[in-house]
């Protein structure tokens, strides 16, 4: 069975500090990977997706970046956090482009 693990569960960070959120998928080779973000009271927005190692496509510009250093790993990061980065970040995967989306448990980020 496939499992998806996100870390950390929650973060409280200062404006201007760096951020790194991680996501790993076990039990599935070459998954499509996605990062989503939801501001408090907002709609879930897709940020990035990756269909293979080393390739990441940006969907929404939020002064964030993503990388896929390994087949089973997806990283979301920034060197300088903004207040507007606060929210709930979800990693997700699919077997292929036209497939069911499975979400991780999410990371709640508070930027102060």
Partner 1 sequence: GDQVEQSPSALSLHEGTGSALRCNFTTTMRAVQWFRKNSRGSLINLFYLASGTKENGRLKSAFDSKERYSTLHIRDAQLEDSGTYFCAADSGYNKLTFGKGTVLLVSP
Interface with partner 1 (CB under 8 A), residue total: 23
Q: Is 60 left (phi over 0), alpha (psi -120 to 50) or beta?
A: beta
102 lies in the binding site for partner 1 (CB under 8 A)? yes
CA 24 – CA 5 distance, rounded (Å): 5
Contacts of 20 (CB under 8 A, 6+ apart): 75, 76, 77
What φ, ψ does residue 110 adopt, rounded to 5°? -120, 120
Q: Select the residue interacting with partner 1 from 8, 15, 27, 44 (CB under 8 A).
A: 44
* Phi/psi of residue 71, nearest 5 degrees: -60, -35
Stretch that binds partner 1, among 12-20, 22-30, 43-51, 61-69 (CB under 8 A): 43-51
Note whether 31 binds partner 1 by CB under 8 A.
no
According to the binding rule CB under 8 A, does residue 93 interact with partner 1? no
If the CB atoms of residues 16 and 42 are measured against partner 1, the closer one turns out to be 42
Told to check if 24 binds partner 1 by CB under 8 A, we report: no
Whose Cβ is closer to partner 1: residue 79's or residue 99's? 99
């Amino acid at each position: 069975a496939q499992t998806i693990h996100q870390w950390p569960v929650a973060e409280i960070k200062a404006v201007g500090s760096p951020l790194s959120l991680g996501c790993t998928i076990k039990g599935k080779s070459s998954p499509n990977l996605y990062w989503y973000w939801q501001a408090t009271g907002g709609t879930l927005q897709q940020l990035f997706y990756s269909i293979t190692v080393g390739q990441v496509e940006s969907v929404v510009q939020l002064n964030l970046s993503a990388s896929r250093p390994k087949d089973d790993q997806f990283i979301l990061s920034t060197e300088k956090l903004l207040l507007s980065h606060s929210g709930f970040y979800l990693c997700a995967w699919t077997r292929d482009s036209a497939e069911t989306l499975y979400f991780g448990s999410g990371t709640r980020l508070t930027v102060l």
